[in-house]
Amino acid sequence: MCAAGNWTATFAPALERIVSDAEKLRGSRPHIFIDVSQVSRLDTFGAWLIERLRRSLSDTTAEAEIAGLSANYSSLVDEVSRVGTAPTADGDRVSLSTMFEQIGRTVVGIGDTVVGLVDMLGAVLAATAHVLIHPRSFRLTSTVHHLEQVCWRAVPIVVLITFLIGCIISQQGIFHFRRFGADIFVVDMLGVLVLREIGVLLVAIMVAGRSGSAYTAELGSMKMREEIDALRTMGFDPIEVLILPRMLALVLALPILAFLGAMAALYGGGLVAWLYGGVDPEAFLQRLRDAISINHFIVGLVKAPVMAAVIGIVACVEGLAVQGSAESLGQHTTSSVVKGIFFVIVMDGVFAIFFASIGI
């Protein structure tokens, strides 16, 4: 048989069809010559396809040879003839047992997550103790830098969103309470809800999305590029250098943001109550003073640093768990935010039970 024309990558799809047609001649003759003297251009694709044809035509009874090869291309054909058979990609088998295996692995993974969080909490506390004993090893510049990132720069968006949420709560409250002639109780609802729950919870969720993800991505890409290993080999503790300033910044930032958020929500609620519900500001403030006590405010703010610690620890654990690939970075950033929000809500539930049982 005779091959002619361009045997190059561009024509590979057509050439592959020609070759698989020619392979059907297998066993028809004891000796086959593949004449390639008419081939004008040859590259790896063409050379391999000719080699593949030669192999499939050769077996115990028959023999195939490549003939008429020009000197320019002989080294290429030699090169290709050294290639063995291709290992095929092992695909994922889906069966009942692999499904159970997946479930088992996920359950073990949950356990590992909890252990990882406790581990990181311990490491952070140990680093804190070390810094308390050796105050000079504390990284003030880094802490201030992170405080700017997570607190100062977060103020506009946090204030805006909580303001709008305050407006919405107030509007909905007035709309529904008006049917019972109980408009004024919207102030009680707004005050208790914002100070105890919504203010801190909403801000914590925003911070988990905004700063938790940033921490994970930063630490993760440092891990990928061996920067964390470099720190360790220079005798620095990455927990102390990287994680402690971030944690401290977060623990300081969240109460501040939660306070600002609560004020913005009350302001927004008051504004809507005035413009939409006709509750004038003096009546609003008077009612607010009666409805809430300092306890509500404290209950809200006490939760903030704890939630910040949870978000920070989750973010750092996830960041340090990043493996070498970009995909892994994405997965861990996602799970940082998801787990952060989950644990924030769990903590909120735990606090609610606690405060209910001690009667505040």
For other proteins, the binding residues (CB under 8 A) are: 8-10, 12-13, 16, 43-45, 48-49, 52, 72, 75-76, 79-80, 82-90, 323-328
Q: Which amino acid is at 95?
A: S
Phi-psi region of 269 (alpha: psi -120 to 50; beta: other; left: phi over 0): alpha
**Comparison of 293 and 335: residue with beta carbon closer to other proteins:** 335
DSSP β-bridge partners for residue 5: 39
CB of 120 to other proteins, least distance (A): 23
CB of 109 to other proteins, least distance (A): 20
CB of 106 to other proteins, least distance (A): 21
- Joined together, the tokens standing for residue 170 give 């107030």
Q: Residue written as tokens 């195939």?
A: 64
CB 215 within 8 A of CB 315: yes
DSSP β-bridge partners for residue 64: 32
CB of 76 to other proteins, least distance (A): 4
- Joined together, the tokens standing for residue 351 give 């606090």
**Comparison of 43 and 237: residue with beta carbon closer to other proteins:** 43
**Comparison of 21 and 282: residue with beta carbon closer to other proteins:** 21
**Comparison of 40 and 295: residue with beta carbon closer to other proteins:** 40
The residues near 261 (Cβ < 8 Å, ≥ 6 apart) are: 158, 159, 161, 162, 199, 200, 202, 203
CB of 278 to other proteins, least distance (A): 58
Q: Which amino acid is at 81?
A: S
**Comparison of 45 and 355: residue with beta carbon closer to other proteins:** 45
Q: What is the largest CA-CA distance in the chain?
A: 106
Coil/strand/helix, residue 34: strand
Secondary structure E strands in 226-342: none
Helix (H) or strand (E) holding 80: helix 71-81
CB of 336 to other proteins, least distance (A): 18
**Comparison of 220 and 277: residue with beta carbon closer to other proteins:** 220
CB of 247 to other proteins, least distance (A): 28
**Cα Rg, the chain, nearest whole Å:** 34
CB of 34 to other proteins, least distance (A): 17
CB 239 within 8 A of CB 123: yes
Instruction: For residues 281 and 284, give the distance between their C-alpha atoms in angstroms, rounded to a whole number.
Output: 5
The residues near 19 (Cβ < 8 Å, ≥ 6 apart) are: 49, 50, 52, 53
**Comparison of 85 and 141: residue with beta carbon closer to other proteins:** 85
- Joined together, the tokens standing for residue 59 give 């077996």
CB of 52 to other proteins, least distance (A): 7
